[in-house]
Chain A
Amino acid sequence: MSSEVSEKEIEDLYKKIKSAADSGGYILNPDNSFTLALIEGLIVNEKRYGYQACPCRLASGTKNEDLDIICPCDYRDQDINEFGACYCALYVNKAVAEGKQKLKPVPERRSAERKDSSAETVSTANLKYPVWRCTVCGYICARTNPPEICPICKVPKERFEIFMK
């Protein structure tokens, strides 16, 4: 695996992920070799599928079907809350980072929850502006279109859904 990904690529993506994490209040796993191995997995997936699919999940190869598992995935925050780490443990909570909480396998919450979002009902309240919700961090804003990048967790606008309109 390491033959296809250079140190520089890993380093660059690490910096990017670290700065997004810092500004959003997220914590990367302090075990450096572990974290870098996951970042390498993200780069492998980017090259293979064209998007940074979660390294610990099987991507379909179709971006639209996998939006929920592009890192950071839609399940990260819930898993950090409940288990102290995201499914891969790239992101952890403070207690895990400080060694006060032991990492345990995080169960997959994806399949049970996966839904066709188009079939979901959106509350209608005849608002002046639709309300958009970031599916990754829950940030909410009312404007004609979602922001290019989520100001909190930095994911691109394709990760927003209409919450109310």
Chain B
Amino acid sequence: MNTIKVEGTDKGHVLLLGLSTCIWCKKTKEFLESNNVQFEYVFVDLLESEEKDKVKETLKKWNPACSYPTLVLNNSSCVVGFDEEKIKLELLI
């Protein structure tokens, strides 16, 4: 998966699957940035169709509703939507 990396404190592997037009994805991204969390993100709506399908498959595994934003943590858990409290708990912020 071609992701964009944002430097910060290592809190484990943090992957944000989002859409470029989605305000809650933007808020999630800004939240991670302002808390100096190291993460990777991908805006699925901007991908070419083949790559898009692949990422959608990955997303489905974590979040069957296939909604955005979805945050995948350490390849083991996920947070659906901009759920600030839950993200804080998971990342110990």
Contacts and interface: CB of A to CB of B under 8 A. Distances in A.
Interface of A: 1, 34, 37-38, 40-41, 44-45, 48, 55-59, 88-89, 105-108, 110-112
A149 to B, nearest CB: 25
Contacts, number: 59
A56 B64 CA distance: 16
Nearest to B45: A58
Contact of A56 (B68, B80, B83): B68
B4 interface: no
A37 B45 contact: no
A55 B83 contact: no
Most chain A beta-carbon neighbours within 10 Å: one of B24, B66, B83: B24
Q: What 3 A-B pairs have minimum CB-CB distances, sorted nearest first?
A: A105-B81, A41-B21, A108-B67
B6 interface: no
B20 A1 contact: yes
A130 to B, nearest CB: 34
Contacts of B91: none
21 contacts: A37-B26, A38-B23, A41-B23, A44-B20, A45-B21, A48-B45, A55-B21, A56-B19, A56-B22, A56-B23, A57-B22, A57-B67, A57-B68, A58-B19, A59-B45, A88-B22, A105-B24, A106-B81, A107-B65, A107-B67, A108-B66
A99 to B, nearest CB: 18
Contacts of A44: 20-21
Nearest to B83: A105
B53 to A, nearest CB: 11
B44 interface: yes
Interface string B3-40: 00000000000000001111111100000000000000
